[in-house]
Structure 1
Amino acid sequence: MKNVQFKLKIFAMSFIAILLFCSFHPKEEKGWIQLFNGENLNDWQVKITKHELGENYKHTFRVENGLLKVRYDEYETFDGEFGHLFYKHNFSHYKMRVEYRFVGKQAPGGPQWANRNSGIMIHGQSPESMGKDQQFPICIEVQLLGGTKTEERSNLNLCTPGTNVVMDKKLVLDHCISSNSKTYLDNQWVTAEIEVRGDSIVKHIIDGKVVMQYTKPQLDERDPSYQKLLPPDGNNLLKNGSISLQGESHPIDFRKVELLNLGDDCN
């Protein structure tokens, strides 16, 4: 009898351990999803400022020779047509890896700050909810910056259009915060990684090194879109959202955009 009771106790303890593991340890090996298939933009939606959703103004976003390109060769001048290319699904817990490079010269009329400037937008609003003249989605921006041999610029910085984050247990209200990365030059392929754990923690990683991290990404109540995007429960923390690639007037190539789902189910 004692032997049976002992076995039942061991079984119960093992069952509880499995439940605890499933509750607190997300499954990390569901396979990398290739968000960019190397052939077309079928799984993506274009939104360019001053234009309707789906209008790829002047062929800004295109696929050529297996590369996803942002180009301005058909523009006479850049007049605030900031572009974003949205993936078809939202995500919450994931790792994302992007390989990119800046090429060529900035479009005429592009703002000075946008030279060698692009971004990976995460936890963003849907493209359908953006206004026609809206320049940037409400989101967390992982900023991509290129430098020159004479100009040092950190990479994988944080910008917060319509959002805020928490660093060192303090709410940060600054729009852009620099990372501690080194400078990366034109025509140099760079591998940028992001680790996102819902509304708990976000890490920016380059060359395998974490160069920026923060917690509690959230809507900024100072932004005019705050009430429109606030969910019915009033919780302003960003648990998930859209992913988009940015075009800010400087040509850029992407040769890989992939994602590893870190969903916390036990199926």
Structure 2
Amino acid sequence: MRVSHKTWLVGGVALLMIAGCQGKTDVSATAGAEPEWESIFDGKTLNGWTPKISMEPVGQDKDKTFEVVDGTIRVSYEGYDEFGDRFGHLFYKDKLSHYRLKLEYRFFGEQLVGGASWANVNSGVMLHSQSPESIELDQKFPISVEGQFLGVLPDNSPRTTANVCTPGTNVVVDGKIETEHCIQTAIPVRPLGEWVQYEVEVLGNGTIKQLVNGQPTFEFSGAQYDPSDKRLTDLKNANAMMENGLAISDGYIALQAESAPVEFRNIQLMRLDTDNAGGH
């Protein structure tokens, strides 16, 4: 798996300045009111968020995969006997195009029995995702671009985090379409129980940049559907998704549950265009 090391110092410095001083205007923002960070998780409820668990209708989470515990969104499998490929995603309500997202995550506990080896200490946030309502009953992953979160494995084998995975999609890296499903960064994983800060800037079909604990990973762009990927073409609504071409300029964000216990907190959003001001 090729490791991409393209740095984006200027973008990283700009993001760090915004994280510490939220009143600066970005060239991506519409003239007028300066963009501000808003909390999209109230720390008490899942208001504004919709679960989609594989083999369950949208909005149903009978075994409480996603719960609010001590001010966090917790992915827990206490209600499960075994995983059974019941991949889950928790979607924020608004469709987004140009924005910044920041959150903290940490892994804890042990993987649920039946989870795949590759899914151990593995989660993420889906960007530019299809809507939860358009996901089929047995669909495991939404068509999206994933900022992948990994943690330390029991054997302490080397791993990186803030990798980019592409279920049903491709992205452009260093001016070329990258067809590898997961592109690794050079950011090492952190131990179980340690909070990790993640931030991403998404500019429609343009650049997407990530930070981990203030450290830039790499820059990519040109999110697009991959018509050769069975994860996309096997869907009943695949043609409708691609009716305006392959380029993906907007979509939903979703937190991932794929058999590893994980928590999320301090989830904040900065909208960088007027189309996102009131949601969709």
Match of 1:187 among 184, 193, 197: 193
Question: Between Structure 1 and Structure 2, how many residues are aligned?
Answer: 243
Match of 2:256 among 223, 233, 246: 246
Q: 1:95 aligned to 2:107?
A: no
Distance in 2, Cα, partners of 1:159 & 1:31: 29
Match of 2:138 among 133, 136, 146: 133
Q: 1:229 aligned to 2:241?
A: yes
Q: 1:77 aligned to 2:82?
A: yes
- Residue 107 (structure 1) aligns with: 112
What is the identity, as a one-letter code, of the residue corresponding to 1:136?
A: F
Distance in 2, Cα, partners of 1:150 & 1:140: 27
What is the identity, as a one-letter code, of the residue corresponding to 2:107?
A: F
- Residue 166 (structure 1) aligns with: 172
What is the identity, as a one-letter code, of the residue corresponding to 1:35?
A: I
Which sections of structure 2, spanning at least 5 residues, go unmatched?
A: 1-24
| Identical residues among aligned pairs (%) | 39
How far apart are residue 98 of structure 1 and its match? 0.9
What is the identity, as a one-letter code, of the residue corresponding to 2:191?
A: L
Distance in 2, Cα, partners of 1:71 & 1:147: 18
Residue range with higher mean Cα deviation, 129-138 or 220-229: 220-229
- Residue 159 (structure 2) aligns with: 153
How far apart are residue 175 of structure 1 and its match? 0.6
Match of 1:41 among 46, 63, 76: 46
After superposition, the C-alpha distances for 1:39-85 in whole angstroms (9 at most, x for unaligned) are 10111001000111111130110011211100001111110000000
Contact 2:28 2:273 survives alignment (8 Å): no
Distance in 2, Cα, partners of 1:25 & 1:183: 31
- Residue 198 (structure 1) aligns with: 204
- Residue 184 (structure 2) aligns with: 178
Contact 1:25 1:264 survives alignment (8 Å): no
CA RMSD of aligned residues (A): 2.0
Q: Which has the larger radius of gyration?
A: 1
Distance in 2, Cα, partners of 1:138 & 1:187: 30
Contact 1:191 1:207 survives alignment (8 Å): yes
Distance in 2, Cα, partners of 1:147 & 1:242: 28
Distance in 2, Cα, partners of 1:209 & 1:189: 15
Report SS of the residue matched to 1:228. Answer: helix
Q: 1:263 aligned to 2:273?
A: yes
- Taking structure 2 as the reference length, the TM-score comes to 0.83
What is the identity, as a one-letter code, of the residue corresponding to 1:80?
A: D
1:50-61 matched pairs, under 5 angstroms: 50-61=55-66
Distance in 2, Cα, partners of 1:263 & 1:102: 33
Residue range with higher mean Cα deviation, 148-157 or 123-132: 148-157
Report SS of the residue matched to 2:133. Answer: helix
Contact 2:54 2:138 survives alignment (8 Å): yes
